[in-house]
Amino acid sequence: MEAKLYNQAGEDLGTFEVQDYIFGIEPNVPVMHQAMVRQQANARLGTHSTKTRGQVAGSTRKLYRQKGTGRARQGSIRAPHHSGGGVVHGPQPRKYTKDMPRKMRRLAVRSALSAKQAEQEIVFLDQLSLDAPRTKDMIALLEKLPLKAGKTLIAVAERDDNIQYSARNLPNVKTLHAAYLNVVDLLTYDNLVLPKSALEVVERILGQKQEASA
């Protein structure tokens, strides 16, 4: 399929070919949802912990005698209904890790890319480079591109300190290595800036030949 190509000045350089297999498929929404749930679950630490009545500090002495006081019977200061008592059925340390076949993970990313391309939320650049790490230069660059209002994700082919340092102070801009494109970021950010060098990385990982070999 054909996609528009721009330069850093925001000038239209015409069209060029991108893979239908990545940017032109029918988005598989259930797989995208499964991949997003998996990614968010795997990001959880699972270190939450509460103490039961047998673990909290406190005397084991019976508070007062069983009968004759006119009060409700009580057995322990550590009972859940007492202040400072144990927690009933509280969370304990556990793993939230979910697994998902690699082909499904890649299908989810391709579906997200195809959905963004269909909504014209991907801006392809011939190249992306800055002479120095300056936030003002990054702001000026993004203002020239045909981006929608909202947050912008910039994919890079390799580490570029000038790009990363120029964007990191912008609250609605994030840089990400093209090899780490994921469903959560693609669905969270309204725009994707994809230079040709980063596109080559994406096509190498998600392309049809790679899928066949996998």
Report the CATH superfamily, name and number, of domain 2-44+98-213: Ribosomal protein L4/L1 (3.40.1370.10)
Query: CB neighbours of 135 closer than 8 A, spacing ≥ 6?
Result: 166, 167, 169, 170
What pTM value is reported for the model? 0.85
Pairing of strands 173-177, 122-125: unpaired
- On average, the pLDDT of the chain sits at 94
pLDDT exceeds cutoff 60 at 214: no
**Residue 163 and residue 160: Cα distance in Å, rounded?**
5
For residue range 18-74, what is the model confidence (pLDDT) as tens digits? 999 999 999 999 999 999 999 999 999 999 999 999 999 999 899 999 999 999 999
Rounded to 10 degrees, the C-alpha dihedral 39/184/108/159 comes to -100
Q: Where in the chain is the domain with CATH 3.40.1370.10?
A: 2-44+98-213
Structure tokens at 175: 């840089």
| Encoded amino acid at 9, one letter | A
Question: 144-166: string of b/e by CB count within 10 Å (b at 16+)?
Answer: ebebeeebbbbbbbeebebbbbb
